[in-house]
Structure 1
């Protein structure tokens, strides 16, 4: 069963992804806007990304390239 799900996920088109997001949007609430002060990259230390998240972000390149 997992093989089928993994195969289907790799076949999702950008149009399907956008449709899924549009259907989900009404269920999300927006928080109040906060002012974010930029931080110099040299001051950022100790950031780690879990392997599952790194794979997710890596797989997203097909939508942005």
Structure 2
């Protein structure tokens, strides 16, 4: 059996930590650069197969004003 040790996180000073969040975010932002937006290509309905929708879900969508008749 493996003995897993669980350590409690260090106490957090909320006043100091919350005040430092904007600076922390600004320093981390360059590390998470967002790629240029890539528009998804439409998929032909002929390629969509094997999808099953439960009858209750189909009735729910049918009853919704935006998705119904």
Shorter chain as denominator, the TM-score bin is: 0.3 to 0.5
The structure with the largest alpha-carbon Rg is 2
Comparing both chains, which one has the higher relative contact order based on Cα–Cα distances under 8 Å and sequence gaps of 6 or more?
A: 1
TM-score, normalised to structure 1, is: 0.37
Higher helix fraction: Structure 1 or Structure 2?
1
Q: TM-score, normalised by structure 2?
A: 0.35
